[in-house]
Amino acid sequence: MSRLMRRALLIRSSPCQSSVVTSTHRRRWAHQLAAAGVKRNNLPHPIVTATPTQAPYQPSLEELMAKDETLQSPDYFQVHKIFTTRDLFRARVHLGHKMGSLHPNMAPFVFGSRFDSVILDLDKTAFHLRQALNFLAHIAYRKGIIVFVTRSPHVIHLVEKTAMEVGEYAHCREWDTHTLTDSHRKYGGITRLPDTILMLNTLDTVMAPHPAVKDAAKMLIPTVGVVDSSCDPNLITYPIPGNDDSIQALTLYCSLFKEAILRGKNKRKLVDAALLQNKKEM
């Protein structure tokens, strides 16, 4: 290729350089090309390099939350329809321990006493239970890991069965403090910690709190727990004031937890199926 053709090709392929070329220069090179017998249309097409595209737009967390329908409604999964206050009364959720073992922080949830036993306010219990169920449904909707924890030997089979039915995990044996705080060394590798811990009993002994409560707080894991009149509700993220000894009450809790988690998971399945269908149509 001659020097003249290379110069013409450079002008056509470089917009930055061609923008400073005057009309006089263009006419002069056009005459030189015509004298050399080269037509303008016969010039080889310049190699056009692709300009780097901009990075895809990444919406902020506030924008994602504003578009999320599940966060627009105070009760998107309709957990308030799962139970009534009468159901709590029939399951003996309102029965607490003796007045002498009442924890000072549980005083706002006490309705009164009968035969020196604490009677919990079921209206407040229903309010906090709906909040806990709504939280569990959201965790399940976002494919979070939920761990059921209890130390009551008479409900171990019930808790483990409930965890299996919803596809989650249960820990009903003696708690090892390295389970959460040193999981990398305990399991010999990087382990995903649970997104929330669901506790049917927040006490390990008569007065001592369950060690999972303290370990979860260290690892910033939210907790949902049934707190009896002798427990400290301030240690639990979503406390549920109620009886944690009666088999009727614990059976009701497990059924409600199961229903809330399944509602969140079923909604996630519908959303994933709709997204997959939209991709196929596109």
Instruction: Give the model confidence (pLDDT) of 85-104 as tens digits.
Output: 999 999 999 999 999 889 99
In sequence order, what are the residues at sequence separation of 6 or more whose Cβ sits closer than 8 angstroms to the Cβ of residue 218?
Answer: 180, 181
- pLDDT of 51: 53
Rounded to an integer, what distance in angstroms lies between the CA atom of residue 174 and that of residue 251?
Answer: 22
Strands (DSSP E) contained in the chain are 95-98, 110-114, 117-120, 146-149, 169-171, 196-199, 223-227, 238-241
What's the helix, strand, coil split of the chain in %, to 5?
50, 10, 35
Alpha-carbon distances of 189 from 185, 212, 238, rounded to whole Å: 7, 21, 31
- pLDDT of 56: 64
Q: Give the other-Cβ count within 10 Å of 131's Cβ.
A: 17
* One domain, residues 112 and 184: yes
Q: Does the residue 52 lie in any domain? A: no
* One domain, residues 28 and 126: no
* One domain, residues 145 and 32: no
* One domain, residues 34 and 135: no
Please say whether the dihedral angle defined by the alpha carbons of residues 139, 141, 147 and 149, taken in this order, is positive or negative: positive
Q: Is the pTM of this model over 0.85?
A: no
* One domain, residues 35 and 100: no
Q: Does the residue 49 lie in any domain? A: no
* One domain, residues 20 and 129: no
* One domain, residues 269 and 186: yes
Q: Does the residue 55 lie in any domain? A: no
Which positions of the chain have pLDDT values less than 70? 1-68, 282
Q: Does the residue 263 lie in any domain? A: yes
Q: Does the residue 47 lie in any domain? A: no
Q: Does the residue 84 lie in any domain? A: yes
* One domain, residues 89 and 21: no
Nearest to 92 by CA among 269, 272, 245, 255: 245
**Domain limits for position 185:** 70-274
CATH number at residue 157: 3.40.50.10490
64: its two tokens: 């994602």
- pLDDT of 166: 95
Rounded to an integer, what distance in angstroms lies between the CA atom of residue 15 and that of residue 37?
Answer: 26
* One domain, residues 34 and 83: no
Q: Does the residue 53 lie in any domain? A: no
Nearest to 198 by CA among 253, 248, 247, 130: 253
Number of domains in the chain: 2
* One domain, residues 186 and 230: yes
* One domain, residues 31 and 113: no
* One domain, residues 22 and 91: no
Q: Does the residue 279 lie in any domain? A: no
For 215-229, how does the pLDDT look when each residue is reduced to its tens digit (9 = 90+)?
999 999 999 999 999
Percent of the chain with pLDDT over 70: 76
Beta bridge partners of 226: 240
